[in-house]
Amino acid sequence: MSPTLIALHGHRDSAESARQWGNAIAPRNWEVIAPSAPLDAAGSPSWFETGPRGVDPDTLRRSVDEIGSLCSKVADSRVVVAGFSQGAALALHLAPGVRADAIVALSGFLTDAELETGQGPPTLITSNRGDEVIPGFLSGDAADTLRASGRIVESRSLDGSHAVTPSTVAQARDWIEETADGRMRASLGLPTDKVHNPDFVSGAGIGRLARHFEGIGAAAAFVTDHPAPDDRWLAAGGHQALEPTVALTAAAVTTERLKLHTHIYVLAYRNPFLAAKALASLDVVSGGRLILGVAAGYLKAEFAALGSNFDGRGSELESSLRLLRRIWSEPSLAATGDGFEARSVTALPHPVQQPSPPIWVGGNTRAAMRRAVTLGDVWCPFPTPGGLEKATRTAPMRDLADLSEAKQRLQEVSEANGRATAPRICFSPFTHWAWTQDHEAGAPALLRELNELADMGIRDVVLPVPGTSIEEVEHNASVLMEMVLSVG
């Protein structure tokens, strides 16, 4: 049985409206079930009735039992219950013992009915700051009450009115994928570094590959960032790159769900206001699909060509990340930094994803771990075979034992910085390069490592896709995704 999302519509809404936003937030290949609420005395669809004394407990219990029974019928696979407005209230009142892997409450609130205590499924509650029907404080009160009753609850406040907005969809979809989907996710590389092949750097070629990546189940497509590579590095095996936000915009306009991943974007190369505008524009154009992968950078000559401070690149990255979050949320911003002074700046539009697009921090050092813990959402170390750590100015990462030790250090760094749960880890498998050289001989080792990574709790991977033509890249991407999706 396919994983299932049960979508509960709001008061006076229709099951079809719930099916539409349910399909938008459900992970790929999930079934969406949208039951209809009974009609109330006024003939409107309503999960429970209210009167002068508050909610009618009998009608609420009837709906709770109905949805609980539906969960039991489909619980042979993963089940998420998601509701909007009154449907969200119903979802939050499901007993802790409901057979669901997660609960999502969009514009969620609690009624005055008695609430059962106990841990229950992990729960996301969102609120919209401009919601004229369910004010944000009601969602906050619901989160506090559920936590006090023993539930694990994450709450997020977004911009928007009383509706399932693009921001709501982006937040809910990401949370479900991270919390309840359980499958391995891959970000596949678009070959936009091969600038001498016109097919790889044309809008049509990028769009075709992006559509293919989406169709075969990739979570994201990534591109690299080298605005001014020097000749000596290029002669030693370095590469060119299209401007990341331009390349990913070409991928965005031909896809609907594929995430758009900068792997990586060197913030220290750029004025933070220009970077914030480009990145927010990409997130808006794509409907909230940007993954902002960043790192300090390592090419001294490239920093020099761009007039950037190589020695201070780590601190520049950190200050830029802090400032980006402010630019993306504050009106009339005042800020100063190296080479810029902003007295009163309001930069619109803000990103669809709030409070910011997810930030994935690259690098193997303890400093990179700390940045991921304090300023990011995901840590992205990478393999350093053959002494690559010297060229890339990072810490060695030579095998899975090194990665396991680093994972433990990440937890220690998290606890030292007041974060109880360490960030997720995204990794590029050690055996991937050997597979690119000989697909048949390298496949068993790559598949074995993907399963070992999953056993370590690492379910996000970055995989460059080799090939000298569009057709060859499509074929190799399909082979890679068959292995990724076979991981339990």
pLDDT of residue 17: 97
pLDDT of residue 389: 75
- Check residue 418 and give left, alpha or beta (phi > 0: left; psi -120 to 50: alpha): left
pLDDT of residue 115: 87
pLDDT of residue 232: 95
pLDDT of residue 110: 96
Domain ranges of the chain: 4-179, 183-486
Mean pLDDT by 10 residues, the chain (488 residues): 93 96 95 96 93 88 96 89 98 93 97 89 96 96 94 93 94 93 94 97 98 97 97 95 98 97 97 98 97 96 96 96 96 92 95 94 95 98 83 85 96 96 96 96 98 96 98 98 93
Give Cα 179 to chain centroid, integer Å.
11
Name the helix (H) or strand (E) containing 425.
strand 424-427
Q: End-to-end CA distance of the chain, in Å?
A: 15
pLDDT of residue 426: 98
pLDDT of residue 77: 85
- CATH number for the region 4-179 comes to 3.40.50.1820
Residues 6+ apart with CB under 8 A from 283: 289, 290, 351, 352, 353, 357
- Kindly write down the DSSP assignment for every residue of 145-178, as one continuous string: HHHHTT--EEEEEES-SSS--HHHHHHHHHHHII
CATH superfamily of the 183-486 domain = Luciferase-like domain (3.20.20.30)
pLDDT of residue 295: 97
pLDDT of residue 336: 94
pLDDT of residue 93: 95
Encode burial over 348-366: b for 16+ CB neighbours within 10 A, e otherwise: eebbbbbebbbbbbbbbbe
Coil, helix or strand at residue 430: coil
Place of tokens 């979508």: 7
